[in-house]
Amino acid sequence: MKHGIVSGMFCGTNITLEQISKPQARKLFNENKEIYVSPCNMRVFNSWGTLSSVIKNSDVTDFDTFCNSYEYYNCNNNEVGKYASFFKQIK
């Protein structure tokens, strides 16, 4: 984990995020809490909009399926990274 705590604009709102581990993200997801995900080598708040938020709902019901799909489409080379980083909002 290399991001720690980061702040920036997401969807027009200034937020502060703390990086969490995948098991912590799975726990929050299963508790129906919002988590944020980004490719591991990308800056969290950048002009390319790599940060995404996800919450358990009728479209996304399984954490592992979501992670596998996200990493297949978004974490597919050495430049952006090979895995996802997870975050929770603290402010």
Does residue 1 carry a pLDDT above 70? no
Give 3's pLDDT tier (boundaries 50, 70, 90): low
Looking at per-residue pLDDT, the higher value among 13 and 25 belongs to 25
The answer to whether the beta carbons of residues 89 and 36 sit under 8 Å apart is yes
Phi/psi of residue 56, each to 5°?
Answer: -65, 125
The pLDDT tens digits for 43-65 are 888 877 788 999 998 888 899 99
Mean pLDDT of all residues in the chain? 89
Q: Residue 15: what pLDDT?
A: 92
Widest Cα–Cα separation across the chain = 33
Q: Where are the domains of the chain?
A: 5-89
